Every structure is written in structure tokens, then in C-alpha cells.
Structure 1
Amino acid sequence: MADRATAPGSTPLRFSKMHGAGNDFVVLDLRGGRAPPTRALCRALADRHAGVGCDQILTIEDAPDTGAVATYRIWNSDGSAATQCGNGARCVAAWLVRDGAAGEGGFALASPSGRHDAQPLGDGRYRIAMGVPAFEPARIPLAGFEQADTYTLQADGGTVAFGAVSMGNPHAVIEVADVDTAPVAALGRWLQAQPAFPDSANVGFAQVVGGDRIRLRVFERGVGETLACGSGACAAAAVLVRRGRIGRRATVALPGGELEIDWPDDAAGITMAGPAAFVFEGEWLA
């Protein structure tokens, strides 16, 4: 293996491989005070050739407050920490229900971006409360701009227009005519590196199909393009709702599956519903 999870002779690190609409995770149970993974271990676990393979690692930990069933943290495939992951939240919710720590009724999860209410919907689907979108540049963070529905930056190929919002993590949303031909990797990587995004950003490329449907591809910071991004789906819907391009209930079709987004009004939180699936169980051996 490219890295070791435990010292020789110690207990192997058990994990669950899961995915939400193709956005895949290695889930680690760290309740009871077990140490979080190192950056090297995250990279080794995420390696799709020599490791388990995943977009992100999710660690389930003891909740700091009595209102949540558990807390979870998110680690990108490059070992950096993330603050929000909607698809991951659904997988954590499903894992806790299977574990018996959470029931089939609604329950709360704690995350780096705050509390999220989770609701099992049956058939492996969960609804997650994702919070109120934040459009103020200082909260995204987006540097050097006054708040607007659309921002522009100059690139070698011309002007890049985008919306920006925080869903507990920073997002840029670029509307395109066709997501299949969008320069997702090149433009996503370029925008992430701009000083306007001091904490980088998840870059979404959104194609409006109709008033209640969009197609989306997302280039995630610390990961690259993923098959799905739950917070990115919420961000794209929020930006497009504010522009009047779609209604407040919409289906977001990503390469790995579909998510249902509902934003009742500007002051309300967005909810996201979609699948959470178990793939296999395993042990990372010393």
C-alpha cells in the first residue's frame, strides 16, 4: 500500500465505500475519539489504482452537542479539508441509519458548516437541509467585487461571466449552452486559481434545460471533476433562481444521477434530495 493506516500489530481501519449519485466516498467510523486521517492517508485511500478510490473521505465522529446524532468531517482526495458536501451528508445519514445510531425518522447531523437536518425518504433516498445560500462576497469569500447576480473576470480567451454563492463552501456558477462541450477542467482550474477566490472555489457549469430542470458538471476544489456535487447542485439552482432562469423547485441532472432541489424563498434554506448507496465494506490493513 502507498500509506499505512495503523501501526504494525494494531487494529485494521474498517471502512465503508459509498456513493451518492456517483460522487463516491470512503466512510470511516472515528467515534470514541479515534484520530482523524493524515493527509497522506487520505491520498492513499483515495488513490483509484493503489488504494480504495474515492472523491472524498468522510469521518463520522462523536457529536459535540446533544442535538445531533453524530458529526462528520470531509477530506478531499488530495488530503485537504472541506467544509460542505451534500452527497456526503446523505451517505453519512444512510450509514448512521444502518448502524442503528439514527432511526427512520428525521434527525440532525453536525458538520464543519453547521447543523443539517436529515430525512429518510425510503428506497435509499434522503433529504438534507443545506442551509440558506449566502451571496454576500465577504461570506463566499469573493474578493474585489460588490454583490451582483453576475461577475466577470478577464481570461486569455475573453471574458468569463459567473455567479457566486456560498453553500457553506464557495461556489462559482457558469451558465453554458451545452455542458457536454464546456471546458470544465481548463476553465474550472483557471477560475479556482484566481485571486478573486482566496479560498478557491467549486466551479459549476450549468445548462438550463427548462424552468424546472438543469444539467450540471462540477469541478471541485481539491478533487477535480466529480460525477455529482450536492452543494454544487444547490449553488447552481440558487444562482439561476435569482436570475429568473428556473423556478424554486428543480431537478439537477449530473453525470452520476439526479438531485431534487427545493428553495421556497430567499430567506429559507435549500433542501436537496437524492440517493445514497452502499458499495462494499473493507479493511485498510497495516
Structure 2
Amino acid sequence: MVPFRKMHGLGNDFVVLDARAQPLPVTPARAAAIADRRRGIGCDQFILLEPGTDGADVFMRIRNPDGSEAGACGNATRCIASLVAGDSGADRVVVRTISGDLPAERLGDLWRVDMGPARLGWQDIPLARAMDTLHLPLEDAAACSMGNPHATLFVPDLDAVPVETLGPRLEHDPLFPDRANIGFVQVLNPEHIRLTVWERGAGLTLACGSGACAALVNAARRGLTGRAATVTLPGGDLHIEWRADGHVLMTGPVATAFTGTIDLDGLPQ
């Protein structure tokens, strides 16, 4: 039996297994089985912790509920930074992902993560062909990468948007060769926006940290907000700041829901 921890950031929930001391036989199929909300533990993303090297305190491997690997997850980064800091007593942690290093620091009861620079070139997102990423030929959308691809659609009334219909269709649009996270944004004022995200490989979630970063960046690029704003998601609020050097800072809470054990040998290979 292998211990696990169920954590969440604003309801964006994760099953975390720790393979820092010894490797664990977690395949994409097993990660998908664990993430299944009916037959497994259930989560928006499965997280496997691996040893950190060369300045990183931990390596965080992220898998979506379909078993595909994700490059970034802001809410999970805060959770893992908090977990690692709990072991070491540190107030600063560097979390490594396949998309790069994410430094995090404790701010009282909250954690702030430097999500790295927003990538604005069409090839960095990536898109299927060269185009202006601030004005996609797709609804009223802009795009950027926060280590994973995001499209942000600006809408006048978020409550009137059929997210569960539009989200999966746009996620798989040919414009996005690697699929995309689809954010729906209503700008309330220059310092406050509302956001709902259809996550690539996960569907509708209560919160998406990298999606909140992308939403603020794209709103600021259009002149709809300043470079810092509160982003209200269904699960709660994040504070996002797009610094002058291009890096995006995300601040928000973390929580542990429960712990337990799981028999990996009883899961699909």
C-alpha cells in the first residue's frame, strides 16, 4: 500500500504520491485510474513527486485525468510548495516541472508562485500557423502560454456562456495542435475579473492557476485591466501580477482534504 495525500487550491484538487525516497510504478493508465472520480480517488490532476536536483527542491510530474502529461499547474505548485516546506521548515521552495522551475514563497497563510514569463509568440503556445496571438480567428479570443497552452475568450456575461458546450469544442479546435485550456473571462473592472476554465484533459474545474495567469496577461495586453488584478474563479480568488520583466506571480491558498493509502498493484498497468 502506498500513502497518498488529497490536496486542493480553491477546489482545484490533486492526488499526490511521493516518489522522492523510492520510485513508484505509476503509469499514465494508473494515474488516470487514480484520478477517476467514480472508480478511483478522484482529482483534477494527479501529481507525482520525484527528487529535486540542481537547485530544485522537488520535481513535480503532472498528469491530467486522461493520463496525458501537463507542463504546468499553478494551484498544484502552491500545494506542493506547502507540502515540501512542511517537511523542511523553509519559507521558499523551488518546484521543478517539465516546463521549468517555479519558485514559491510563503506569505502568511498564502503561497505566491513565480509562474515564469508569459510566452506570447504563436509558435510558443503553440498555434497551428503564424498569427497575432492577441486576436485569434476564434470567437473573441487571445492566447498565450504559461508552460501550457491557453486561449482566453472575453465575454460580456460569464453566466450566459455555455462553457460545457464551447469548452470541449474549442479545446480540440485545429488551431491548437496540442489542444488548449479554454478560459472564459468577464472583466468587472480594471482590477477585478471573473474566470471559468475548461481545462485541457480535465474539463470544467473550480479553479485553474495557470489559466488565471493567462487571463490577466491577455486582459492587460488588450488594455482591459492593469498588470495586477484579483481573478475570481468558481472556487475563490487568486491575485495575479504580470511584472514588468514578463514573469507572472500568482498568490492564493492551499489545503489538505485528507490522506490515505492505495494499492497500486490493483490498478491497470
Shorter-chain TM-score category? over 0.9
Q: Which segments of 5 or more consecutive residues in structure 1 lack a partner in the other structure? A: 1-11, 154-159
1:280 and 2:250 are equivalent in the alignment = no
1:72 and 2:60 are equivalent in the alignment = yes
Contact 1:33–1:62 at 8 Å: present in 2 too? no
CA deviation after TM superposition for structure 1 residue 151, in Å: 1.1
The equivalent position to 2:140 in structure 1, one of 161, 168, 181, is 161
Contact 2:123–2:130 at 8 Å: present in 1 too? no
Q: Which segments of 5 or more consecutive residues in structure 2 lack a partner in the other structure? A: none
CA deviation after TM superposition for structure 1 residue 33, in Å: 4.0
Aligned to 1:37: 26
Q: Which piece of structure 1 moves more, 44-53 or 225-234? A: 44-53
Contact 2:243–2:249 at 8 Å: present in 1 too? no
Report the secondary structure of 2:123's partner residue: helix
Report the secondary structure of 2:113's partner residue: strand
Task: Write the distance in 1 (CA, Å) between the matches of 2:43 and 2:59.
Answer: 20
Task: Write the distance in 2 (CA, Å) between the matches of 1:36 and 1:260.
Answer: 37
1:195 and 2:174 are equivalent in the alignment = yes
Aligned to 1:114: 100
Contact 2:47–2:63 at 8 Å: present in 1 too? yes
TM-score, length-normalised on structure 1?
0.89
Task: Write the distance in 1 (CA, Å) between the matches of 2:52 and 2:255.
Answer: 23
Q: Which piece of structure 1 moves more, 86-95 or 181-190? A: 181-190
Contact 2:117–2:247 at 8 Å: present in 1 too? yes
1:230 and 2:201 are equivalent in the alignment = no
Paired residues for 1:178-217 under 5 Å:
178-217=157-196
Paired residues for 1:118-137 under 5 Å:
118-123=104-109, 125-137=110-122
Task: Write the distance in 1 (CA, Å) between the matches of 2:49 and 2:106.
Answer: 18
Q: Which piece of structure 1 moves more, 241-250 or 34-43? A: 34-43
What amino acid is aligned across from residue 113 of structure 2 in structure 1?
I
Task: Write the distance in 1 (CA, Å) between the matches of 2:190 and 2:223.
Answer: 9
Paired residues for 1:12-27 under 5 Å:
12-27=1-16
Task: Write the distance in 1 (CA, Å) between the matches of 2:33 and 2:247.
Answer: 36
The equivalent position to 2:69 in structure 1, one of 73, 81, 85, is 81
Task: Write the distance in 1 (CA, Å) between the matches of 2:103 and 2:26.
Answer: 26
Q: Give structure 1 regions of 4+ aligned residues with deviation exceeding 3 angstroms.
A: none
* Equivalent residues, number: 264
Cα 1:36–1:253, aligned 2, differ >3 Å: closer, same or farther? farther
CA deviation after TM superposition for structure 1 residue 148, in Å: 4.1
CA deviation after TM superposition for structure 1 residue 104, in Å: 3.4
Aligned to 1:7: none
Report the secondary structure of 1:128's partner residue: strand
The equivalent position to 2:50 in structure 1, one of 49, 61, 68, is 61
The equivalent position to 2:83 in structure 1, one of 82, 88, 95, is 95
Aligned identity (percent) is 47
Paired residues for 1:242-257 under 5 Å:
242-257=221-236
CA deviation after TM superposition for structure 1 residue 36, in Å: 5.2
Greater Rg by CA: 1
TM-score, length-normalised on structure 2?
0.95
What amino acid is aligned across from residue 4 of structure 2 in structure 1?
F
The equivalent position to 2:135 in structure 1, one of 143, 147, 150, is 150
User: Over aligned residues, Cα RMSD in angstroms?
Assistant: 1.2
Cα 1:68–1:163, aligned 2, differ >3 Å: closer, same or farther? same
CA deviation after TM superposition for structure 1 residue 146, in Å: 2.0
Q: Which piece of structure 1 moves more, 114-123 or 38-47? A: 38-47
Task: Write the distance in 1 (CA, Å) between the matches of 2:228 and 2:214.
Answer: 13
